[in-house]
Amino acid sequence: MKTGKPPFEGVVAEHSATVLRVCRAVLGVDEADDAWSETFLAAMRAYPDLPADANLQAWLVTIAHRKAIDVTRARQRRALPVENVPEVATTVPAPGDQDDELWHALKALPDKQRHAVAYHHLGGLAYNEVAEILGGTTDAARRAAADGMKALRTSLMGSKGATR
């Protein structure tokens, strides 16, 4: 008899929302679904061979990171023939729509900061785990997340006079 491992359904049930939040923070709501689906499909494929003591959430967020990069590259390939289309023109946030405002602020961050914010604050990964995904040191991951959060606060609240 093989060693027991919880049915994959339980993994989906427990981590589904977290992975979706991470994908939405990295890619925006529209492209997050594709990354979520590719993440769980790949995870399910590899699940039988995963060590029983693996940190499932860190494992899933790591896969989500790779799938988000795939989705981004696919979009860039599709976008290639059409040059110089200003990105902001396509997705102007509805006034007062918090989701869109947040996404625009996230999108404005350098990739490393957006990833660090998503994986630590939404994915629940420790900074050393974030560093393993992004490369670089634990300190650099911590700094990227802190800088990212600071920039988000500035861009989302700065205009209203909040100073931090």
Partner 1 sequence: MTTSDTSVLAPLADVDPADLARLHAGLEAAADRAGQLDIAYTTFDSPVGPLLLAATETGLLRVAYEIEGHDRVLETISARISPRILRAPKRLEGAMRELDEYFAGRRTTFDVPLDLGLSAGFRQLVQRQLAHIAYGHTQSYGQVAAAVGNPKAVRAVGTACARNPLPVVLPCHRVLKADGSLGGYAGGPATKAILLELESAA
Site for partner 1, rule CB under 8 A: 1-9, 12, 16-17, 20-21, 24-25, 33, 36-37, 40-41, 44-45, 47-48, 98-99, 101-102, 105, 117, 121-122, 146, 149, 152-153, 156-157
How many CB atoms are closer than 10 A to CB 7? 9
User: What is the rounded distance in angstroms from the CA atom of residue 93 to the CA atom of residue 73?
Assistant: 24
Amino acid letter, 12 = V
- Short-list 94, 83, 78, 74, CA closest to 27: 74
Q: Specify the residue, 25 or 141, whose C-beta has the smaller distance to partner 1.
A: 25
Identify the H or E element spanning 117: helix 111-117
- Least separation in angstroms between residue 36's CB and partner 1 is 6
Q: Specify the residue, 11 or 133, whose C-beta has the smaller distance to partner 1.
A: 11
Q: Specify the residue, 69 or 102, whose C-beta has the smaller distance to partner 1.
A: 102
